[in-house]
Amino acid sequence: MDDPFYRVLVDLQDLLTTRTTEFWAARRVKALHLPITTSSISSPMGLGSDSTPVEIDLFGDRTFLADSMQFMLEYGCRFNAEGAWYLMPSFRGEDADETHLNQFFHSEAEIVGGLDDVMATVQEYVQALAWSVLDRMADEVGDVAGGVGHLEHMADLDSFPRLTLDEAVDHLGSDPDAVHHADGWRTLTRHGERRLMDEISPILWVTHFDHLSVPFYQAYADPEQRSSLSADLLFGVGEVVGSGERHATGAEVRKALAQHQVSGEAYRWYVDMKDVRPLRTSGFGMGVERWLMWVLNHRDIRELQLAPRLNGIAIAP
């Protein structure tokens, strides 16, 4: 309670919450109050995912703690043409380490439009957050982080550099530790992301990931259905924001479920929604603690929790 680091952390959490609310209110994007349980998990459902869901028994019913409520944000776009957002916990089953948490906060939003629309919105959002930190907490953050030049750099950029996954793989060359190759898809490793940030730009979009490496709900980017309309924003530790355009119709979702070898049973309502109300939407999720790592120039994400939660360890409170 006397550590200046955690006092700054509390102030940054409050700043992010209030500024996020202001940002979306100005755009008439509506906040949704959503449960933390679901039978339709999203983020861990890709062949290239490094995440696993958290299954629980809820009074005899098999369910999951939410890894994301993006599907419900898509539902919210059917109620409000400007979109929907939330700031809430997410749960993952993999082991925690310096860059992964078992429970973390997600700042997520969904808007009507395509990939370029949501990428532009993400830039506006993270730049608004950077400006707010500089305006309200520059001295406190500078003392902890060793300066605020990284915030000033982000705030002043006219546009964030971007390259496709194919371009990223070409740049990384034959480095065996930079790209993970699987049967029919590729993903960037943390080392690969770091090289791109060091060699191209410390703030960088990577777009059009192989479709089999992303969750089934991302829209196809080419007629051969090889790539996806997806984009990760790299800065700080690496991927801090993940974004993508969604399939607009139920038929497209059915095709993707089959391609990704995912049972459609838990997603019947999601497919039905797109049959009844087709809509082109795009969304993003920002890992709040990864953003805090970048702001504070901190190395271990596990230290950015006021009340730590680590799988398999009983911690009070």
pLDDT band at residue 82 under the 50/70/90 scheme: very high
pLDDT at 317: 87
In the prediction, which pLDDT does 103 show?
95
Residue 44 has pLDDT above 90, yes or no: no
Residue 50 has pLDDT above 70, yes or no: no
| Interatomic CA distance for residues 64 and 44, integer angstroms | 12
Backbone dihedral region for residue 106 (phi beyond 0: left; psi -120 to 50: alpha; all else: beta): beta
Alpha helical stretches, state H, the chain: 4-26, 70-77, 115-145, 149-156, 165-172, 190-199, 250-259, 268-276, 288-296
DSSP 8-class letter at 98: S
Note the pTM of the prediction, 2 decimals.
0.96
CB 53 within 8 A of CB 46: no
Q: Where are the domains of the chain?
A: 4-303
Q: How confident is the model at residue 48 (pLDDT cuts 50, 70, 90)?
A: low
CA dist., res. 176 & res. 98, Å (int)? 22
State mean pLDDT over 138-152: 98
Distance (Å) of CA 254 to CA 85, 192, 283: 26, 33, 20
Model confidence at 18, in pLDDT bands (50, 70, 90)? very high
Q: For residue 20, give every residue at least 6 positions away whose Cβ sits within 8 Å of its Cβ, in sequence order, or none.
A: 85, 87, 107, 125, 129
- Of 279, 210, 281, which is closest to residue 244 (Cα–Cα)? 281
191-234 pLDDT, tens digit each: 999 999 999 999 999 999 999 999 999 999 999 999 999 999 99
Topology of the domain covering 4-303: BirA Bifunctional Protein; domain 2 (3.30.930)
Q: Which of 106, 127, 113 is nearest to 280 (CA)?
A: 113
- Give the model confidence (pLDDT) of 241-273 as tens digits: 999 999 999 999 999 999 998 888 889 999 999
| End-to-end Cα, the chain, rounded Å | 15
